[in-house]
Structure 1
Amino acid sequence: MSEESDVDPVDASGADEPAVNISGGEGGGGPEATFDPGAADTRAERIVDRLGALYWQKTYGGQDAFTCLVRTILSQNTSDVASQPAHDALIERYGPDDASSGRGAASTDSNAAADLATALAEADRDAIAETISSAGLYNQKSRMIQEAAEWIRSEFDTAADFDAYVKASDPGTVREELLSVHGVGPKTADCVLLFAGGREGVFPVDTHVHRIGRRLGIAPADADHEGVREALETAIPGAKCGFGHTAMIQFGREYCTARKPACLDGPEACPLADQCDRIGVDLVEETVVDPADAD
């Protein structure tokens, strides 16, 4: 079912992450979220409020569901630095005709040119792999993307119909449907629900969120990705899950990295020092282990 991995994106790509999280910020969709940091009911909510003030405070939704699905598949096991150009190249080659931008689908069929799912389902898989080669694992990802496109054509007819389904249907049902698709794991399904569906209470867990939730002590130290997701979605109000997800990713890139969290340079180096249990981090010995391996 899932082709997702716990590999740290920086380790997988060898490149630094960008200064901003491409999946969030101004491009995340939706209006600005409002909240009162002084009214948090749980430590997890206080942490998200702090992160929201540090980075961004947006609600999410409004992205096209199939495009979001493709973008998230491309991001698996790699960094935004590598996956974003692959996504742009794919849309440039197979996206709907747009006379103003010069973009057009590879197929000459007018229906295929009007629908990304149709264009990708009918495309040569080797050509898709070549187009997304910067994202890594391009043969595997080209298969996932094409099979997802074929699934959408079979089940929903068009990408637009799939988008309407994601936005209007029960989120639990949508999640189950997405998880039935080869290459779609929990994080990918949750990203589609969040960024395309705009569903409150969805907190996708990637390798950064998995590490930080357990290191902070707001999720069990031995929790798997689903366990961290359940802990965060239980403790954090639904309206704050979207920006909590993107801001926690950015915090993991800038401060709470896997090998050298900022707290090793002293509590003043981390904006969450007073809220963190530092599970797996020994400030005296200056060592870091996975929270599940901590004493």
Structure 2
Amino acid sequence: MADEPSENISGGPGGGGSPAEFAPENADTRAGAVVDELGEMYWRKAYGGQDAFECLVRTILSQNTSDVASQPAHDSLMARYGSESGGSDESDLSDLAKTLADADQSELAETIESAGLYNQKSEMIIDAAAEIVDEFGSEDDFDAYVREEDPQTVRNRLLKIHGVGPKTADCVLLFSGGRGGVFPVDTHVHRIARRMGLAPPDADHEGVREHLERDVPAEKCGFGHTAMIQFGREYCKARKPACLDGPEACPLYDYCDRVGIDELDESVVDPAEAVADDD
């Protein structure tokens, strides 16, 4: 079974959570069956336990870029601003949110340059840090809020922070709060779910999330998210999905409607475009 990669929004093997046994079962839905099949291909893990603010920062850094690009930016940020960075012995050094709330934006932008959009992301991180410190008082108090408050209340509050969209909020709920039934939708998940027919072809990210959270058992949603991303990187790529090399090239071929894929012409369009062309 494959190991969870270190370059991963979940933080990889050291990013919290614990191994979990998700035995294949007679799923009630196709989405559930797909996640069970992914459980035979990849690591199985129950998520939770990441520091909530660091998780928020990590997810902001990952926006509009790959984990390969955002991971070095996260590592550089933690080396410069985290509790192990050294320097002054002031107690605020142990609180990443307080440290970043007072950070110089140009210095932070330089630190996270590898993540792309570094000026925009540095502003979002500093603003988020200041807002969290102002409302919750400390990183620890924010962490407790994410873990203990009603999940929908937490999600709604996170969405009010500048730069935090549904995927970022859901990642914090999953990887920090360990909340079951949370299936964050990134570009890979959005594409694959609609291409396979697990959600309507024209569904937006929120529509895909609603279908997956409805059809996948709560304890498997987090794993389903990370495993589906890996499947998208390895097999169900945006421009050249594995099925174009024949049914045997994709391990989930029999579960897939291949919406937007013409195997004869070897052409690929977004599922929403395929439906529009049929109208």
TM over 0.5: yes
Deviations 1:57-115 (A, max 9, x none): 1010000000000000000001111110110010011111x3xxxx236xx36132121
Report the equivalent of 1:23.
9
- The answer to whether residue 79 in structure 2 is matched with residue 92 in structure 1 is yes
* CA distance in structure 2 between the aligned counterparts of 1:261 and 1:140, rounded to whole angstroms: 32
Report the equivalent of 1:275.
255
Report the equivalent of 1:32.
19
Tell me which of 68, 91, 96 is aligned to 1:81: 68
Supply the AA of the counterpart residue of 2:69: A
Report the equivalent of 1:189.
169
* CA distance in structure 2 between the aligned counterparts of 1:242 and 1:28, rounded to whole angstroms: 13
Supply the AA of the counterpart residue of 1:65: A
- Contact kept, 8 Å, 2:9 with 2:62, in 1: the verdict is no
Q: CA RMSD in A?
A: 1.4
- Contact kept, 8 Å, 1:222 with 1:291, in 2: the verdict is yes
- Contact kept, 8 Å, 2:242 with 2:249, in 1: the verdict is yes
Taking structure 1 as the reference length, what is the TM-score of the superposition?
A: 0.89
Q: Give the superposition deviation at 1:53.
A: 1.5
- Contact kept, 8 Å, 1:256 with 1:262, in 2: the verdict is yes
* CA distance in structure 2 between the aligned counterparts of 1:117 and 1:20, rounded to whole angstroms: 24
Report the equivalent of 1:41.
28
Supply the AA of the counterpart residue of 1:160: D
- Contact kept, 8 Å, 1:21 with 1:250, in 2: the verdict is no
Q: Give the superposition deviation at 1:157.
A: 0.7
Report the equivalent of 1:169.
149
- Contact kept, 8 Å, 2:50 with 2:176, in 1: the verdict is yes
* CA distance in structure 2 between the aligned counterparts of 1:65 and 1:234, rounded to whole angstroms: 25
Report the equivalent of 1:132.
112
1:180 match: secondary structure: coil
1:37 match: secondary structure: coil
Report the equivalent of 1:67.
54
Taking structure 2 as the reference length, what is the TM-score of the superposition?
A: 0.94
- Contact kept, 8 Å, 2:167 with 2:185, in 1: the verdict is yes
- CA separation of 1:52 and 1:21: change in aligned 2, threshold 3 A: farther
- The answer to whether residue 159 in structure 2 is matched with residue 179 in structure 1 is yes
The runs of 5 or more residues in structure 2 that have no matched partner are: none
Deviations 1:26-70 (A, max 9, x none): 234222222331321111000001112111110100000000000
- CA separation of 1:186 and 1:174: change in aligned 2, threshold 3 A: same
Q: Give the superposition deviation at 1:180.
A: 0.1
- The answer to whether residue 117 in structure 2 is matched with residue 141 in structure 1 is no
Report the equivalent of 1:214.
194
* CA distance in structure 2 between the aligned counterparts of 1:219 and 1:137, rounded to whole angstroms: 31
Q: Give the superposition deviation at 1:153.
A: 0.6
2:46 match: secondary structure: coil
